[in-house]
Amino acid sequence: MRLKIKWNDDRVRGATTAILLIGRDRLARGLTENLVQESIADYRADPAGYKERKRTWAAAGEPGPLTKPSHLARYANLVSAIAALMNKMTQGRRQFNSLLELDNYLVSSLGPVR
């Protein structure tokens, strides 16, 4: 039986939220290289740790601890890119066959966001 992850699945929303929250945390620490790829890798490596930290972080759309204007701009671009990507996936009723395929799609679609 093949795994089907639909555009409206919690795993899609969870991955995009994790990219925002972990990405914001990485930006606050000055880790800007491969932001989306590293954020999704951190999420997949320790989902329980992510869920624990998520409780203390500000909402995904908020800039939280970011203070540098370049980091704030990059985070705002990431938030809008994820919103546009979610809209595109909903309109196209995008489905994925595995978490790896979902992750690769997110990385390839959001990787160029600056």
For residue range 2-57, what is the model confidence (pLDDT) as tens digits?
A: 678 998 999 999 999 999 999 999 999 988 889 999 999 999 999 888 888 888 88
pLDDT at position 81: 94
Mean pLDDT of the chain, nearest integer: 90
27 neighbors 3 (Cβ within 8 angstroms): no
- Write out the two tokens for 77: 């671009």
Indicate the number of domains in the chain: 1
- The pTM is what? 0.89
**What is the pLDDT confidence band of residue 1, given thresholds at 50, 70 and 90?**
very low
Q: Give 2's contacts (C-beta < 8 A, 6+ positions apart).
A: 97
Domain that holds residue 59: 5-110
Cα 18–chain centre separation: 5
Cα radius of gyration rounded to whole Å, the chain? 14
